């Protein structure tokens, strides 16, 4: 592996490609993702109190996504400024740390959700007794702790700026330090391939059990089929391109002493695919919460309750003000006639 990196070499990278489209995508994720995740949080809280295990994972996933979305304005400013970081280095570390933590927290929690759904479908009676809310909470805390501890040495020991920060970039480790190259191999294998395998196996088992079930209608089986396909395709679309770039950069680093030629070619794709990962934060609530029939029914009931409350309040106000209304009109008549 190339060990000649000393932090002094700087690659001449073009930063102005795709700035406007990337800023647009980040903005759309912010606009649609924030309300969707807030609604998911609000819907999950009462279900958690009723000891619903799946809602614990969904709540934690939305909480992580909302925490990341608080940093999206910094990313928008970064890409619109031709990938030049104008804030402090601490702000760069914190922003990037939150982003990459959310990336792998989301991936691992999606695996937890798929495993939980698989247990419920394959072993409904056993799962009813063995699934515990406290266990789900401990798993979520463990996922957060594991991801944060894993990223700490890479971001704070290897440095987040390239060389002497001559390009004023943030988390653009170009050329790649040895520690980051090793970490990229681990991120591809453990952070992407293993979760993809878990998602594929669990969703395949869910689909096969539902398909063979005589108790479900063809329409219900079709919905499960499309949801299963959607989970895998969205996971691949959001996370596969970026992790393939990570792997290719690590391989080139291992094979060549000079890597700037490859970094120049791959950089536009790297920034674009990094943005693709962001889409998952806006899609998760729609895919897992609003695709559930019971959740949609509950949401419709809540909306209808709000409408009924507003209508009753309006009628009550009209009823109370009805007697003074005639007096007001009576008092206005002389004024109008005088004018």
The answer, yes or no, to whether residue 295 has pLDDT greater than 80, is no
Quickly state the pLDDT bin for 245 (edges 50, 70, 90).
Answer: very high
User: Which range, 8-12, 29-33, 159-163, is most confident?
Assistant: 29-33
C-alpha torsion angle, residues 242, 246, 251, 253 (rounded to 10)? 140
Quickly state the pLDDT bin for 317 (edges 50, 70, 90).
Answer: low
Question: Does residue 297 or residue 206 have the better pLDDT?
Answer: 206
Question: Does residue 31 or residue 294 have the better pLDDT?
Answer: 31
Domain ranges within the chain, ordered by starting residue: 19-299
What is the CATH code for 19-299? 1.20.1070.10
Q: Where are the beta strands (DSSP E) in the chain?
A: none
pLDDT value, residue 3: 38
Q: What is the pTM of this model?
A: 0.80
pLDDT value, residue 37: 92
C-alpha torsion angle, residues 114, 61, 248, 7 (rounded to 10)? -150
Question: Does residue 263 or residue 143 have the better pLDDT?
Answer: 143
How far is 117 from 211, CA to CA, in rounded Å? 15
How far is 41 from 47, CA to CA, in rounded Å? 10
């Amino acid at each position: 592996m190339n060990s000649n990196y000393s932090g002094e070499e700087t690659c001449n990278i073009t930063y102005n490609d795709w700035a406007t489209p990337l800023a647009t995508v980040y903005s759309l994720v912010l606009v649609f993702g924030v309300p969707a995740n807030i609604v998911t949080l609000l819907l999950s809280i009462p279900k958690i109190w009723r000891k619903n295990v799946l809602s614990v994972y969904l709540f934690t996933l939305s909480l992580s996504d909302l925490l990341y979305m608080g940093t999206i304005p910094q990313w928008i400013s970064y890409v619109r400024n031709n990938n030049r970081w104008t804030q402090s280095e601490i702000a760069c570390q914190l922003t990037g740390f939150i982003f990459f933590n959310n990336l792998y927290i989301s991936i691992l929690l999606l695996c937890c959700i798929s495993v939980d759904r698989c247990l419920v479908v394959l072993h409904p009676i056993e799962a009813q007794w063995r699934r515990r809310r406290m266990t789900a909470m401990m798993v979520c805390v463990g996922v957060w702790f594991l991801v944060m501890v894993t990223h700490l040495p890479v971001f704070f020991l290897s440095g987040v700026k390239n060389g002497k920060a001559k390009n004023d970039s943030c988390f653009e480790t170009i050329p790649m330090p040895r520690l980051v190259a090793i970490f990229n191999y681990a991120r591809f294998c453990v952070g992407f391939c293993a979760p993809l395998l878990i998602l594929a196996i669990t969703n395949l088992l869910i689909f096969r059990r539902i398909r063979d079930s005589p108790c479900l209608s063809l329409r219900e089986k079709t919905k499960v089929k499309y949801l299963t396909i959607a989970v895998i395709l969205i996971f691949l679309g959001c996370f596969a391109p970026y992790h393939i770039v990570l792997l290719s950069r690590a391989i080139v680093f291992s094979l060549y002493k000079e890597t700037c030629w490859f970094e120049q070619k791959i950089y536009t794709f790297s920034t674009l695919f990094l943005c693709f990962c962001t889409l998952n934060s806006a899609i998760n609530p729609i895919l897992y919460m609003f695709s559930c029939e019971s959740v949609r029914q509950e949401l419709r009931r809540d909306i209808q309750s709000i409408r009924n409350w507003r209508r009753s309040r309006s009628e009550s106000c009209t009823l109370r003000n009805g007697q003074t209304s005639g007096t007001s009109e009576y008092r206005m008549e002389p004024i109008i006639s005088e004018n």
